[in-house]
């Protein structure tokens, strides 16, 4: 069986749905295929015992690219901005986290001189042109602008918090600073999880005429003359398309499409990973402990249900513990699970007596590519590696990661197709085609 489409979008995550919704505004036949039973990618939310669990901790930048793009599509995220009031953990010591003026003045983690340096760098961060630090790793950048080891440690902590990256020695300073500037505008924890965004995007796309096909894995894509493509999916079904937007994993690209020019780069991509312990409780033994961040040990703890509806029972507590991994780090899941469990027991003694549900995921991929210095040129080329073929996803931005990159690249791919269609239409009307 052969089907013909104007656009086939591979992958039903944020990038794919953003592209589909922009393309749906034009008179194009659009098919979005997803290999899993349900769409959403890493924005999926799973219900466990009527509790809503994201794939680990998620937050949406209030002033980021994703929020602005969703607004363009008339998608309104619902949730609240979490507090920055929390604690820092270092070995056996606990300190007040210096993220607000009151806590900067009261914390014992910093000396008065270090407080001044911390405030100075936080103000300065907002005015730094991130494009001027393309050639620096985040560690090089931090060491250039900060002298205090404790203030440096705080910047590394904020980098982990805003990007999940635990690799200051290799990650691009430009990308990290871009995210630090966005996080200063605040974030939202979303009601009913990130699946609420996917569901809105899905419904809007379907109502606009987009066909969504889950459990449809792409096996092979080959180009024909004039930029058209033959696409083989499961059960040897055969699709033809004028355009393709690929938003799935970069690791699958080389088996699906011939991209010999970029083979070395694609094989060298390092994903950003971590381990998450997601927990639902009937109540919080110590209700004021909402946020805790490790300084020497890269651990995150936050109570998300304080700021978002994540259960059908408004009294239920949903919290996340997360361990950030270094690139290519070999971890023992049992050890990490025990470490996160023990951390929760220190922060919330007696939590097991209030347990409703929990889920531990080791080696969770939170971003497909660790952005490194020098990647920019090949990433720009890869967005459009051949005529009428476009790539999008969280790994295909030169300035952002995570949802910001997925949304930015998905929109960009869609607009490029729209521009081409307008060009062809104008040329046809003027008699040149």
- Per-residue confidence (pLDDT) for residue 1, from 0 to 100: 61
**Backbone torsions φ then ψ of 328, nearest 5 degrees:** 60, 20
Which structural domains are found in the chain, ordered by start? 2-44+194-269+371-429 (3.50.50.60), 79-190+272-367 (3.90.660.10)
DSSP-derived pairing of the beta strands 2-10 and 30-33: parallel
Cα separation of 333 and 362, whole Å?
6
Contact between 40 and 212 (Cβ < 8 Å): no
Residue 66 pLDDT > 90, yes or no? Answer: yes
Non-local CB neighbours of 368 within 8 Å, separated by 6+ positions: 249, 250, 269, 271, 272, 393, 394, 395
Q: Which long-range contacts (CB under 8 A, 24 or more apart) does 396-399 make?
A: 397/371, 398/174, 398/371, 399/130, 399/174, 399/175, 399/178
Give the confidence band of 432 by pLDDT, cuts at 50, 70, 90. Answer: low
- Best CA proximity match to 73, nearest among 225, 174, 208: 208
Task: Summarize the confidence of residues 17-43 as an average pLDDT.
Answer: 96
Per-residue burial over 100-123, b = 16 or more CB atoms within 10 Å of its CB, e = otherwise? eeebbeebebbeeebbebbbebbe
Determine which of 169-183, 204-218, 220-234, 357-371 has the lowest per-residue pLDDT on average: 220-234
Q: Cα(429)–Cα(423) distance, rounded to whole angstroms? A: 10
| CA-to-CA separations, 240 to 60, 230, 232, 321, 393, in angstroms, rounded | 36, 5, 9, 45, 23
Q: What is the pLDDT of residue 308?
A: 97
* Lookup: tokens for 68: 């602005």
- pLDDT of 240-269, one tens digit each? 999 999 999 998 998 998 888 999 999 999
Q: Give the model's pLDDT for residue 433.
A: 45
pLDDT of residue 13: 97
For the chain, what percent of residues have pLDDT higher than 70?
Answer: 99
pLDDT digits (tens, 9 = 90+) for 215-234: 999 999 998 876 689 999 98
E-state strands within 124-214: 187-190, 211-213
Confidence tier at 431 by pLDDT (50, 70, 90): low
Rounded to two decimals, what is the model's pTM?
0.95
Mean pLDDT of 70-99: 95
Asked if residue 328 has pLDDT above 70, the reply is yes
Does residue 44 register a pLDDT over 70?
yes
């Amino acid at each position: 069986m052969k089907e013909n489409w104007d656009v086939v979008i591979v992958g039903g995550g944020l990038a794919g749905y953003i592209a589909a919704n922009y393309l749906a505004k034009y008179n194009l036949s659009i098919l979005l295929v997803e290999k899993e039973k349900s769409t959403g990618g890493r924005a999926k939310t799973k219900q466990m015992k009527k509790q809503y669990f994201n794939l680990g901790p998620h937050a949406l930048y209030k002033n980021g690219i994703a929020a602005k793009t969703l607004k363009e599509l008339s998608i309104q995220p619902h949730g609240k901005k979490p507090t920055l009031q929390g604690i820092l953990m270092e070995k056996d010591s606990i300190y007040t986290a210096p993220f607000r003026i009151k806590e900067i003045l009261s914390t014992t983690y910093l000396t008065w001189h270090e407080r001044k340096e911390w405030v100075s760098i936080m103000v300065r961060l907002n005015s730094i042109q991130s494009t001027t630090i393309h050639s620096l790793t985040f560690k090089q950048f931090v060491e250039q602008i900060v002298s205090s080891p404790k203030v440096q440690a705080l910047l590394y902590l904020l980098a982990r918090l805003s990007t999940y990256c635990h690799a200051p020695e290799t990650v691009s300073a430009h990308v990290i600073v871009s995210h630090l500037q966005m996080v200063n505008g605040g974030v939202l924890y979303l009601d009913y999880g990130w699946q609420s965004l996917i569901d809105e995007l899905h419904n809007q796309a379907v109502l606009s005429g987009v066909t969504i096909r889950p459990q449809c894995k792409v096996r092979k894509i080959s180009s024909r003359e004039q930029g058209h493509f033959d696409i083989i999916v499961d059960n040897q079904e055969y699709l033809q398309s004028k355009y393709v937007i690929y938003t799935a994993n970069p690791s699958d690209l080389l088996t699906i499409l011939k991209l010999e020019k970029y083979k070395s780069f694609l094989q060298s991509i390092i994903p950003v990973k971590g381990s998450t312990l997601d927990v639902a409780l009937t109540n919080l033994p110590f209700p004021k402990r909402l946020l805790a961040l490790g300084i020497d040990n890269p651990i995150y703890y936050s109570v998300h249900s304080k700021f978002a509806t994540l259960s059908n029972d408004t009294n239920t507590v949903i919290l996340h513990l997360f361990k950030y991994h270094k690139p290519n780090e070999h971890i023992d899941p049992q050890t990490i699970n025990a470490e996160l469990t023990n951390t929760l027991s220190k922060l919330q003694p007696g939590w097991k007596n209030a347990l409703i549900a929990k889920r531990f995921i080791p080696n969770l991929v939170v971003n497909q590519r660790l952005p490194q210095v020098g990647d920019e040129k090949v990433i720009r080329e890869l967005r459009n590696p051949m005529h009428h073929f476009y790539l999008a996803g969280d790994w295909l931005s030169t300035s952002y990661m995570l949802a910001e990159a997925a949304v930015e690249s998905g929109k960009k791919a869609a607009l490029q197709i729209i521009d081409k269609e307008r060009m062809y239409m104008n040329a046809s009307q003027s008699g040149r085609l």
